[in-house]
Amino acid sequence: MTILRDLRIPATDPGPGDRIAHFDLVTTDGRPFSNRTMAERGRPLVLFFGSLTCPVTESAGPEMVELHRRYGHTVDFMAVYVREAHPGANLRQPRVAEDKLRNACRFRSHHGFEFPVAVDDIDGTVHRSFGTRPSSAYLLDPQGVILFRAHWSNRVGALENALRAVIAGQTPARTASGQTVRALTRMVGHADVPLQTAGRGAMVDFWFAAPPVAAVLTLSRIWHGVRARLRGR
């Protein structure tokens, strides 16, 4: 029951004030990125996790692009491609590093990210050190201390408020970092693209693991279909 587990946010997951674990990643361009890279650059970092078949990531992508355009001159951005949230017949879970890199390149191209995308290892070591949620976001200081945690990456408004605070030399508020219901509601309008990308089996995964979420997605599809037909008359 991966989806249901991901909806829970353990108190042991790293949060504001915690220093992240040591990590070594490689970007889709073949460049290394680690804690040392952050320290050498001396800039805050927005680090967020996602995949091609994650509706939360899909809903966050355009706003992450916009955040980078607004604040990229002051703050670094890095996306980390992780396990596929809802793989299907067209896009299966990567089993070897080459497949994961290929998906990460596709992930960057799909969203049009103008900042680096790193690839986690096949076991998801870096991702798991932050928690199990398929798409979360963090604002880190250059020493790797978490300044703000958005449990779901599409809570971009709260993340932007944290960015503004840090740029102004202030401590970000910790409120509005979770909001699971709002995050899941917001993803509904963006679910079709990742589920179609995944192909047959992805929606079945929703029904088995989280029937309420699947029901909302199904009703949304019906509603959008009705609206499309009405417009075509």
* pLDDT bracket for residue 194 (50, 70, 90): confident
Phi, psi of 150 (to 5 degrees): -105, 110
Instruction: Find out whether 84 and 53 touch, Cβ atoms under 8 Å.
Output: yes
Q: For the chain, what is the mean pLDDT? A: 85
Per-residue pLDDT tens digits for 32-73: 999 999 999 999 999 999 999 988 999 999 999 999 999 999
SS3 119: strand
Does 95 score more than 70 pLDDT?
yes
CATH number for the domain that contains residue 113: 3.40.30.10
Q: Report pLDDT for 5.
A: 46
pLDDT of residue 1: 41
Query: Which domain covers residue 116, as residue numbers?
Result: 2-231
Helix axes 211-231, 202-209, angle to 10 degrees: 130
Listing DSSP states for 148-169 in one string gives EEESSTT-HHHHHHHHHHHHTT
The pLDDT score that the predictor gives to residue 2 is 44
Where does residue 163 fall: left (phi above 0), alpha (psi -120 to 50 degrees), or beta otherwise? alpha
Structure tokens at 28: 């889709």
The per-residue pLDDT for 140 is 97
How many distinct structural domains can be found in the chain?
Answer: 1
Question: Mind listing the pLDDT tens digit for each residue in 131-180?
Answer: 878 899 999 999 999 999 998 888 888 999 999 999 999 988 765 455 66
SS3 50: strand
